[in-house]
Structure formats: structure tokens, C-alpha cells
Amino acid sequence: MLEYIIYRKERLRPFLFFLSGVFYTIISGAISLILFPAHASVSHVLLSSLATAPLMFRAVSRGAKILSSYPDRVGYVQLSLIVVYVYFLIGTIVGYLTSYFIWGEKLFYIQKDEINAIRGAFAGGDKILSNNLTVYLIGTLLSFIYGTGGVLLINWNGSLIGYMLYLEMHSGNPIGLLLGILPHGIFEFLGYFMGGISGVMIGVSIIQRGWSAPLIRDTIIFFGTGIIFIVIGAFIESLLLSLSL
């Protein structure tokens, strides 16, 4: 139903991507607890990604279609897709945070372990860039193979941020968490968005139109822009860590 509403007039509606992130995440949490109670934390992310993958795939496909007809509109397509991804990410964060408040620990035990592992591994700041680039490449590859890699990364990171917000709200300091995430997180997420988009664009170009010089160029631009964002984000995060030590 949401897919029909969003594409009814062949025009992207960013706010409806936000609503889809909230709706599918909360619904997936309930289904996970019913069908997979022993593994609800993992299935929550997977089911939410499965539900929203068609929406995001169509968004990127539409962008590739525009570029195939108007090769000079790379900047416009990049900005449009980033807006869609940002709205969707915020929706997933809201959805996961709401789910945690409703159902509690049953839905975030994996996220808790991951946050603790990240804090321990990155205490010195020397593994940040290599880790982020690895995630970036894996996400791009998954987007190419399944068309859903970007959605899976967004959902997973949305679940982590939602869990961290849940903790900070209980501690009474949500602003401190946001200040800790935003400086480098903005660039990291922009990078992951670009990787997911470029991976899907490769698949779309092969399926719909075959290889062409403009599409190859545009895909390289998306992929390269993503790496630049990842490097900037890692530099900022390393700097912040060094100042806090």
C-alpha cells in the first residue's frame, strides 16, 4: 500500500519514506516477537529491511532512469536520493526507538552487544577508517547482488542509534549522544548512502539498459563520492576520540 502511495504519481515523496521507516519497523518488531521470539533482535532488522527494500530499489531505479535520459543531472539525482535516504533513516530511528520503549530488551540484545564491541575496538581510534571502508564495500556489494544492501545498512544503523537514544533518554542526556554522533555520523551515513545507491545503479543498468558510458561514469561518481564521505567521517571521528582521551 505505501509503495503505491509513494509512486502513484511517479514522484518521490520523502516524508512518506519517513513514514514507511516508522511503520515497517514497528510492525516488524511485533512480527519478530511472535514468529521468532528467540531471535527477535536480528529478525526485527531483517524483516524491516525486507519490507522496505522494494521502495528504496524503485527510488534508485527512478534515479538511474533519469540519468539515462539526462546524463547531466547527476547532482540533482544525488541530492534527491540522499534526501529520500535521510528521511528513511530518521524514520527507522524513530521506529526502533518506539519499538524499544514498547517491548524492551527482547528487541535490542544484539544491538547492546554491538555497541559494547564498537566502544572497545575503537577506543584508540586506529581501526575506524578500515572498519568503515569495509562496511561501505560490503554494503555496495550487497546492494548490487540483492538490491537491498543499502536498506539493510540503514536499518542496522537505525537500530543502533535507536538503542543508543533509548539508553540516553533513560539517563536523561539525549543531547550529549546526538552531539557525539552528528559530527562524523553525517559524513559516514552520506557515504553509506552513496555506496548503496551505486550498487543498485550497477544492477539497474545491467538489467534495464545494459552498460553505457554515461551510466558507468555516474556510478563511478556515486561510488567515489561515497568513499570521500567515509574518509572525512573517519578523520573527524578519530580527531574527536583523540581529543577525548
| 124-153 tens-digit pLDDT | 555 777 877 887 888 777 777 766 557 887
Q: Is 5 among the domain residues?
A: no
Q: Is 7 among the domain residues?
A: no
Q: Is 3 among the domain residues?
A: no
Q: Is 197 among the domain residues?
A: yes
Q: Is 137 among the domain residues?
A: yes
Long-range contacts of the stretch 46-54 (C-beta < 8 A, 24+): 46/152, 48/24, 48/92, 48/95, 48/155, 49/148, 49/151, 49/152, 49/155, 50/148, 51/24, 51/27, 52/20, 52/21, 52/24, 52/88, 52/151, 52/155, 53/146, 53/147, 53/148, 53/151, 54/3
Q: Can you give the pLDDT at residue 114?
A: 73
Q: Domains in the chain: how many in total? A: 1
pLDDT cut 70: percent of the chain above it: 74
pTM value > 0.85: no
Domain limits for position 155: 14-244
Q: Is 169 among the domain residues?
A: yes
Q: Can you give the pLDDT at residue 182?
A: 67
Q: Is 6 among the domain residues?
A: no
